[in-house]
Structure 1
Amino acid sequence: MTTTTPRRTDLYPTRTVAEPRPQRRQDPTVWSTAEGPLDRDRLEQYDRDGYLVLDSLLSPEEVEHYRAELRRLSQDTSLHGTDRVVREPDSNEIRSVFEAQKISPVFADLIHSPRLADIARQVLGSDVYVHQSRVNYKPAFGGAEFDWHSDFETWHSEDGMPRPRAFSISIGLTDNYDFNGPLMVMPGSHKTFIPSVGETPPDYHKESLRVHRLTVGSVDHDSLTRMANEHGIHQVTGPAGSAVMFDCNILHGSNGNITPYPRSNIFIVYNSTENTLEEPYAAPQPRPQYLGNRDFTPIPR
């Protein structure tokens, strides 16, 4: 007598077809109606647009405190040469440093703070944990662009995240101008899942985190054009200390930064403890721990 393991259901198939077939999202954006830090109007705005700006999340004093920690991490030679540090594609400048909550008690306190975690619990309707965290530097005079993509497409394919029950918060530690490569989003695009064409190469994260253009995991030009025509493109600007939270499936990207003004931020991804990672849906093996956290311990209340 033989037994077979039941085949799991993949609600968002991707990287398995020759042509992308966009599908309607099957899951909510806001998973709870419970009261919390966000009032009803802001929850409805987030549900409709897939992103929400949080003005003055940090005080000027806090901005200086976290900016000093940003500088310290960039100068920490014990991190240099480790996989946590990703360099710019055209220089040796630091592009990102991952697992901020593990290498920086200063950032860990912010990431685990109730003012952020309570928003995550309210929106995701459960306890939450940190799926990923990093600091992004977007240095002056050459910070490279980030190609258009849906985070969930990558997290589903390469990390094994089952459903789009996660979101990111990007907190500006420098001013976000309209000319230094700010975040661009397509409002409402989070309600459509667009699969990517092509198979995931082994250790693809070593390439995808640094290249100018993604070969796998990007959105095809025809789909991008249709989505931009339907939803438009918004730039998210604002002073240091402001933040933007955005759904894991929204289409977003950013231009390069050739100005004298860096665009640096602390970036946190919160995932529901009811949406923990499985085996990758479309990759040979999971990405490393610093990219897709497999310690699902909830942030303490």
Structure 2
Amino acid sequence: MYVVFFILSSTTLLYNCSFGVLASQDQQCVTFLYDSSSPGSRYYLGNSWYRATETGFPWFEARDECRKLGGVLAAPSSAQENEFIAHQMPPEGILWIDCNDLDVEGRWKCREGNVEVAYRNWDDGEPSNEGDEDCAVLTKRWENQQCSTFMRDDSSCPESWHSWGISCYRVTETRFTWSDAKDECRNLGGVLGAPSSDQENEFIAQLFPLDDAVWIDCNDIEDEGRWKCREGNVEVAYRNWYPGEPNNYQGDEDCAVLASWRNERQWHDGKCSRLEKALCKMAGRPVLHV
């Protein structure tokens, strides 16, 4: 996990941290304060406290995570609250808020828990709905995004790598055979990755264009039909085969790709000699934010 510290001098907060989700919960307090006595980052405004997660989530999982933390996914109800929340983020920070038009396109509902929020702070030209963008994010003002998008902090990863959870991911621009893809990931300081959950699989699929595919570390080279998936030396039990796959259709289809063909995000078997991009993964480095 990332290590995050904040330093206070009087009432001044020094910060440099990108966040993923914002939660709020009622608690008696009279003004903006930082609570250093509890784990994580908590900030007070008025009679509510706020916390931002370090891990990125899709919008639905963000709401669930806030409930687990004892709060709800927040939605600013005034310009003052919006400014307060935006002030806790660096210039490129992004947070999910509880605003969506999932029920009726163009009819945005914003709430905190069961309380409707009338305030809106859309950026110019937003909401634009450039393809199923049904959930709202706050930067300084509001924008709409696809609800499946992961908000993430890439500051713990090397350049050209993307952070999710405690790991860093990179999809190569060059295409390789499966064996060469494994070597390339090692050259880059990581390993050929293999998703271990639906959430990770979904995140990875957003790192490369539609109608494309990436090699993952799953194969049945040693024993036909007995697929081994791993990351480095760690076995991965998760599978996400497309219906009918693996089918060894052309013979010797012994290596797996994660594909986003036809908007799907599932696995196919293919010849290990074909050329595809590589999904590389490495452990994220702890970051001290001051």
TM superposition score category, shorter chain reference:
under 0.3
Higher relative strand content: 2
Q: TM-score scaled by structure 2?
A: 0.20
Higher helix share: 1
- Could you say which structure has the larger radius of gyration? 2
TM-score (norm 1): 0.19
